[in-house]
Amino acid sequence: MTRTPQQVALAVKRLQNRHHRALTTALAPLGVSLAQWDTLRHLHAHPDASLHDLAQLTFQTDQAFGTLAARMAARGLIERVPGPGRAVRHALTPHGEEVRREGERRVAAEVERSLAPLTEAQLDQLGALLEQALAAGEG
């Protein structure tokens, strides 16, 4: 069967949607949304990222991310810290780090379960093909 680009794009979107629903369910007992956990994950990986950088990493506008960050700070997941000049940075609190770590475990389990039907070689191939398509779109 030959698949059209539209059929492949729809399959990617359906898989993304399935992951979103499963991860939302897995993270709910921790009291965080997928967007909040994603913020914790990116803050852990990029501790010096600006608000703008974090907004881009989490696929949000600066304004939407600022609102999300304020709610997360009020819940004790992150804290505002001074940055260079007038910049404000954010950092994980100990509670935020605990939630990030447990969320990482839950997310990994869900994604592994979802992709379990693929062999290691198929998973590598899928990853390489997606990276190739992403790289072509950046040019």
Residues 28-64: tens digit of each pLDDT: 999 999 999 999 999 999 998 888 999 999 999 999 9
Split at pLDDT 50, 70, 90, the class of 139 is low
Residues 70-105: tens digit of each pLDDT: 999 999 999 988 777 777 789 999 999 999 999 999
Token representation of residue 117: 């039907």
Split at pLDDT 50, 70, 90, the class of 119 is very high
Against a cut of 0.85, is the pTM above it? yes
Task: Give the SS3 label for residue 76.
Answer: coil
DSSP-assigned letters across all residues of 10-22: HHHHHHHHHHHHH
- Quote the longest CA-to-CA distance of the chain: 58
Q: Where are the domains of the chain?
A: 30-137
30-137: which CATH topology? Arc Repressor Mutant, subunit A (1.10.10)
In DSSP terms, 50 is beta-bridged to 89
Strands (E), 11-124: 78-82, 88-92
Sign of CA dihedral 130, 133, 136, 138: negative
